[in-house]
């Protein structure tokens, strides 16, 4: 990632907030400049257009935390030896961070709002969720079944079953948001999901 000077960093941070609150099309370069505290011409010293700003945001935030974490799980013998303990006591906090991180949620709101009209937003969803994250989870469940840690279910179905409730929790958080202290509400939902899912797939 390129090293950003203070003004360029502030433009990106301000644009991230405004795009997530109002949408890309409803946010003007003039408004971004006013919020940053610079002239509109100063924005164009750093970015050729508003489109270049959002493309920079997509580039900076577009690598999914979930995918990176799943790749680490696949190479962690502790996870493969005791998946339930790992999910309940380690992965839970990572999943909560992905869902509740305030800055990352601004980016996710932009992606959700723009996914039907912005190619980069649609690409991020297709690549990060449908292709890579779901594909890696499928590989994990296939490996767990081979090790006889879980029942021999279709790993593609298991990947969908694990991801879908987390997506619902994530969507609720994006739409409703949360005040300080509400994080426990989402943590309880994720924990209940992990318990329910594990009890359904574990070997008796």
Q: In the chain, what percentage of residues exceed pLDDT 90?
A: 48
pTM of the model: 0.82
CA 45/CA 48 separation, integer angstroms: 7
10-14 long-range contacts (CB < 8 A, ≥24 apart) are: 10/36, 11/36, 11/43, 11/46, 11/47, 11/53, 12/53, 12/56, 12/57, 12/60
Question: pLDDT: is 107 or 74 the higher one?
Answer: 107
pLDDT at 127: 85
The pLDDT-based confidence of 128 (bands split at 50, 70, 90) is confident
The pLDDT-based confidence of 147 (bands split at 50, 70, 90) is confident
The pLDDT-based confidence of 193 (bands split at 50, 70, 90) is very high
Range 49-75 average pLDDT = 82
pLDDT at 1: 42
CA 67/CA 204 separation, integer angstroms: 30
Instruction: Give the CATH superfamily of 6-58.
Output: Homeodomain-like (1.10.10.60)
Residue 39 has pLDDT above 90, yes or no: yes
CA 182/CA 104 separation, integer angstroms: 17
> What is the topology classification, in CATH, of domain 63-201?
Tetracycline Repressor; domain 2 (1.10.357)
CB neighbours of residue 6 within 10 Å: 7
The pLDDT-based confidence of 189 (bands split at 50, 70, 90) is very high
Range 88-102 average pLDDT = 84
Strand partners, 32: none
Tell me if domain 6-58 and domain 63-201 are identical in fold.
Answer: no
pLDDT at 181: 56
Domain boundaries in the chain? 6-58, 63-201
Q: In this predicted model, what pLDDT tens digit does every residue of 195-204 receive, in sequence order?
A: 999 999 998 7
Range 72-87 average pLDDT = 80
pLDDT at 67: 72
Residue 60 has pLDDT above 80, yes or no: yes
């Amino acid at each position: 990632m390129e090293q950003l000077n203070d003004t360029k960093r502030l433009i990106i941070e301000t644009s991230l907030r405004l795009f997530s609150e109002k949408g890309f099309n409803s946010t003007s370069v003039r408004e971004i400049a006013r919020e940053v505290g610079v002239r509109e011409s100063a924005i164009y010293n750093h970015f050729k257009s508003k489109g270049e700003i959002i493309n920079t945001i997509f580039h900076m935030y577009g690598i999914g935390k979930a995918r990176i974490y799943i790749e680490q799980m696949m190479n962690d013998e502790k996870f493969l030896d005791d998946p339930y303990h790992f999910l309940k006591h380690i992965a839970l906090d990572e999943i909560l961070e992905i869902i509740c991180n305030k800055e990352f949620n601004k980016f996710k709101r932009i992606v959700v709002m723009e996914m039907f009209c912005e190619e980069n937003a649609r690409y991020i969803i297709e690549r990060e969720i449908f292709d890579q994250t779901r594909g890696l989870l499928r590989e994990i469940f296939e490996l767990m079944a081979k090790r006889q840690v879980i029942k021999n279910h279709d790993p593609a179905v298991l990947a969908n079953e694990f991801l879908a409730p987390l997506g619902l929790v994530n969507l609720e958080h994006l739409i409703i948001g949360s005040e300080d202290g509400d994080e426990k509400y989402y943590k309880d939902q994720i924990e209940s999901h992990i318990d329910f899912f594990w009890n359904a797939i574990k070997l008796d």
